[in-house]
């Protein structure tokens, strides 16, 4: 409908249920949660949250990046030395490392995270997993039964454009749909590309999504949706860390 707004949440964080869901229910606002099926109900957290926790908890004053760059096969650019002497420097470092790793394939990201764990000296017991907890199946089922549509966001939240093996690519797409449908007992129609920028999906990824039977797919490119929009590349408006006035302005400028 004209001037309609669609509310979506990516990844499947538990705060979608704890914080957003009661508000959506109170005001009868429909929404869609795109969940990474392989992490639902687990105690695992996303790699970027783990990196953020490690930089936050580290007591190392500097980080030398030569080993990190080697673990990434020298496919990322980072300063030779990163200063970590203040909270501001540690936050900036975490942001820069996460941004750099977002361009890599899943295996290289895991290798870099392992190196970072050693270099920053932050063990698993120091990671606040509860703060970054993902949805349980029970929470997902409750939302799905009460007006929240559930979409797929792959199994493990990989950069799909970096997957070279077509079988692995299609498994990430197909299995996410199958696992969610089996876990909820409901059909899953929508898909959201992990990370969602043009460099994170391509023709092969789109074909896998179409062939899996999804009716539409959301990207992260900002923009207005019209009847002529490609329904396998739907634009959205990011609200990440946006204060309320900016969030409202971003929405209303597209209406």
Residue 116 has pLDDT above 90, yes or no: yes
SS (H, E, C) 174-214: HHHHHHHHHHHCCCCCEEECCCCCHHHCCHHHHHHHHHCCC
Q: Tell me, what DSSP letter sits at residue 157?
A: -
Structure tokens at 132: 């970054």
pLDDT in tens, 7-64: 999 999 999 999 999 999 999 999 999 999 999 998 899 999 999 999 999 999 999 9
What is the rounded average pLDDT for all residues in the chain? 92
Residue 163 pLDDT: 94
Residue 1 pLDDT: 76
CA 188 to chain centre: 18
Cα separation, 36 vs 192, in Å, equals: 10
**241-245: average pLDDT:** 75
Beta strands in 123-182, from DSSP E residues, in sequence order: 148-152
pLDDT in tens, 149-204: 999 999 999 999 999 999 999 999 999 999 999 999 999 999 999 999 999 999 99
Question: Is residue 98 very low, low, confident or very high in pLDDT (cuts 50, 70, 90)?
Answer: very high
Cα separation, 145 vs 140, in Å, equals: 9
Residue 5 pLDDT: 85
Residue 140 has pLDDT above 80, yes or no: yes
Enter the pTM of the model: 0.91
Q: H or E element: which one contains 222?
A: none
Residue 72 has pLDDT above 80, yes or no: yes
Query: Would you put residue 73 in left (φ > 0), alpha (ψ -120 to 50) or beta?
Result: left
Residue 245 pLDDT: 81
Residue in this structure with the two tokens 């050693």, named with its chain if needed:
118
Residue 242 has pLDDT above 80, yes or no: no
Tabulate helix, strand, coil % of the chain (nearest 5).
45, 10, 40
Q: Tell me, what DSSP letter sits at residue 124?
A: G
Name the least confident of 21-35, 199-213, 227-241: 227-241
Question: Is residue 238 very low, low, confident or very high in pLDDT (cuts 50, 70, 90)?
Answer: confident
CA 194 to chain centre: 6
Residue 244 has pLDDT above 80, yes or no: no
Residue 195 pLDDT: 93
């Amino acid at each position: 409908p004209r001037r309609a707004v669609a509310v979506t949440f990516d990844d499947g964080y538990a705060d979608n249920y704890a914080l957003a869901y009661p508000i959506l229910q109170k005001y009868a606002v429909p929404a869609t949660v795109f969940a990474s099926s392989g992490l639902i109900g687990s105690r695992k957290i996303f790699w970027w949250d783990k990196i953020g926790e490690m930089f936050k908890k580290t007591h190392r004053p500097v980080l030398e990046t030569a080993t990190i760059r080697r673990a990434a096969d020298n496919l990322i650019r980072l300063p030779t030395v990163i200063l970590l002497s203040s909270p501001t420097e540690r936050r900036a470092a975490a942001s820069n490392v996460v941004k750099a790793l977002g361009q890599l394939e899943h295996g290289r990201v895991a290798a870099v995270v392992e190196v970072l764990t050693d270099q920053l000296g932050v063990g698993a017991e120091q990671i606040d997993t509860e703060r970054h907890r993902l949805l349980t199946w029970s929470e997902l089922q409750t939302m799905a039964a009460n007006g929240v549509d559930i979409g797929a966001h792959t199994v493990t939240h990989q950069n799909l454009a970096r997957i070279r093996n077509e079988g692995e690519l299609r498994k990430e797409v197909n299995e996410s749909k199958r696992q969610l449908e089996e876990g909820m007992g409901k059909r899953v129609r929508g898909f959201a590309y992990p990370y969602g920028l043009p460099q994170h999906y391509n023709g092969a990824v789109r074909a896998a999504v179409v062939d899996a039977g999804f009716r539409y797919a959301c990207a992260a490119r900002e923009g207005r949706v019209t009847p002529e929009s490609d329904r396998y590349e739907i634009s959205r408006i990011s609200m990440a860390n946006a204060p309320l006035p900016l969030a409202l302005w971003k929405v209303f400028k597209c209406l």
